[in-house]
Amino acid sequence: MLHLQTPLSKAVQSLFERALPLLEGMRPGTLKIYVFGGCAMHILTNARGSADVDAELRASEHLLIEEIKAVLQAPEDYEENGLDLSVVFDQGFNNSLCPLHEDYDERAIALPGQENAPMQVFIANPFDLAISKLGRFTERDREDILTLIRELDLDLEKLDKLALEAIDYYPCDKATVISYLRIILDDAAEQR
């Protein structure tokens, strides 16, 4: 179940809706947006928020990504619990900087009601979001992965399999990233 009615989730959706005028009259799926990071964590678990949106933009050859990025440059303001907050599109996000399974886009979760829309927004599948967090593996990343496992009851064997496949072709110190995976799997097994 996606948490799409929270103030942060609505702000993220409003941020992306700014691109709609550029897509008028275009075919379904002209722009596909894949959300990762803290905003994906929030939408999947409602466990925490984020001030920036980590997202991959994929556009047809007839649409310039730079035009979309320009439209998304300004922060989107929202209010939550009496606080004035904002969320901003991370212009520097690049999913090649983290381990990511080659089939992540096939597992991504589409936001409802946009099947025939020119812009389609997808939330990273919990397995792929967890795998992406193995790259940096800060304390927050570790907690996020454990939260995904706990809150969404992720299958540890499937996570292990997909993560090892992703790490296999990720340009990194494979032994280090595999050791992070082992730490997570051990921690998660202890918590069950």
pLDDT digits (tens, 9 = 90+) for 109-125: 999 999 999 999 999 99
- Give the pLDDT band of residue 60 (cuts 50, 70, 90): confident
Would you kindly state where each structural domain of the chain is located, as residue ranges? 7-191
173 vs 145, more confident:
145
Measured over the CA atoms of residue 61, residue 69, residue 22 and residue 42, the dihedral's sign is positive
pLDDT beyond 70 at 62: no
- The whole-model pTM stands at 0.94
Q: Which pLDDT score, from 0 to 100, does residue 97 have?
A: 74
Mean pLDDT, range 22-31, rounded to an integer: 93
Q: Which pLDDT score, from 0 to 100, does residue 90 have?
A: 95
CA angle at residue 71 from 112 to 53, to 5 degrees? Answer: 55
pLDDT beyond 80 at 63: no
Q: Which pLDDT score, from 0 to 100, does residue 19 have?
A: 95
Question: How far apart are alpha carbons 10 and 180 in whole angstroms?
Answer: 33
pLDDT digits (tens, 9 = 90+) for 129-169: 999 999 999 999 999 999 999 999 999 999 999 999 999 98
Question: How far apart are alpha carbons 43 and 57 in whole angstroms?
Answer: 18
Mean pLDDT, range 8-15, rounded to an integer: 97
Mean pLDDT, range 23-31, rounded to an integer: 93
How crowded is residue 21: how many other Cβ atoms within 10 Å of its Cβ? 8
Q: Which two tokens stand for residue 150?
A: 């706990």
pLDDT digits (tens, 9 = 90+) for 96-106: 778 999 999 99
Q: Which pLDDT score, from 0 to 100, does residue 34 have?
A: 98
Q: Which two tokens stand for residue 78?
A: 């929202």
Mean pLDDT, range 59-69, rounded to an integer: 80
Question: How far apart are alpha carbons 82 and 70 in whole angstroms?
Answer: 30
Indicate the angle between helix axes 37-45 and 7-17, nearest 10 degrees: 130
